[in-house]
Amino acid sequence: MEIQDSKGKIVKEAFPSELISIIGDILAGIVLSLLILPFDSFPVLILMIPALLSLRGNLSGPFIARTSRDFIIGHFSRRTWIENVLATYTLSIITAFFIGIFSFILDLILFKLFILPILYLILIPMISIILTLTISIPCSTGLNYLVFNRGLNPNNIVNPVMTAIDDFSTVFCFFLTIIMLGVP
């Protein structure tokens, strides 16, 4: 059974990583704005960003928690990690598909711009999140391993640090995807 951390230890471990998360998220938002503002399809693209960032957090967070739990209780294995990865990718693809559909519906209702075909609105979040997870999963697993082996609680440190890393990855992968697809 896991020993409970004291309040002081939790704050001492978590506070620096929370600062990294806050600063990283602010910088990721600035970079995102600068990168996608020039696109003609900006109004439609901006609809996807909150959903993509939320999706990334909602999928990456549980992945990180399950991985750190496995390290803490001593049940980390290749098999459980692969199952965790496959579950995360499967949920990502399904949810990204719905982000594309909802973006199309919102464009239809709010903007009526029809700058991007529905296929692009589905492919952009799907490719973006798959690329992001391809960066995030090895990083978070490695960080969980390093933090745990240093005697720290990965639950206090890894998630906030990975939030900043993942948000930058999401911004970069989103931009890369719209460039690869030739989005106007």
pLDDT digits (tens, 9 = 90+) for 18-70: 899 889 889 988 998 889 989 888 888 888 988 988 888 888 899 999 999 99
Cα–Cα distance for residue pair 21/123, rounded to 1 Å? 28
Question: What global pTM score does this model have?
Answer: 0.88
At residue 125, what are phi and psi to the nearest 5 degrees?
Answer: -65, -35
1 pLDDT higher than 50: no
Q: Which helix (H) or strand (E) holds 104?
A: helix 78-106
* The pLDDT of residue 138: 97
Q: Where is average pLDDT lowest: 4-8, 21-25, 54-58, 160-164?
A: 4-8
For range 101-107, the mean pLDDT: 90
* The pLDDT of residue 110: 83
3-state helix, strand, coil in the chain (%, to 5): 85, 0, 15
CATH 1.10.357.20 fits 42-180, yes or no: yes
